[in-house]
Amino acid sequence: MHVVETTHPVTRVDAWAVNSVHCQAHYRIVAEAEPDLLCRVLNLFALQFLTPSQVTANRVDDLLHLDIVMDGLSWHRAQVIAEKIRNLISVYSLQVWEVDAVAPADVVAAAR
């Protein structure tokens, strides 16, 4: 048996926005606490050969709160992934923003 070494790029080339500036996207997801939900959400990144830089999951009663930070995405690609996550049947809400920007909850708090 021969061992074959392969090298993989750190991130997949974004064919939709080759010349776009890449950002760090933060996803905040609230969903029904189902055993396979975390796998289904992370699989949407894995299918595109992407590995999040940070994943936090907290269960509160029947809800699962997920925070995912992903580097190296164009804003368009981050939004496409967000729409795929929103389409999962057990997802109640999803917010996505650039990490450099102000989080949606912080904007609401500042407006009060």
**Residue-wise pLDDT tens digits, 48-91:** 999 999 999 999 999 999 999 999 889 999 999 999 999 999 99
Q: Which helix (H) or strand (E) is 63 found in, with range?
A: strand 63-74
pTM (2 d.p.): 0.74
For residue 100, report the phi and psi dihedrals to the nearest 5 degrees.
Answer: -70, -20
**Residue-wise pLDDT tens digits, 8-30:** 555 555 555 555 568 899 999 99
pLDDT reported for residue 108: 47
The span from the CA of 73 to the CA of 24, in Å, is 7
**Residue-wise pLDDT tens digits, 36-46:** 999 999 999 99
Residue with the two structure tokens 């450099």: 100
Q: DSSP 3-state assignment of 66?
A: strand
The span from the CA of 53 to the CA of 70, in Å, is 6
Closest CA to 25 of 5, 48, 2, 4: 48
Domains, in order of start, for the chain? 22-111 (3.30.70.260)
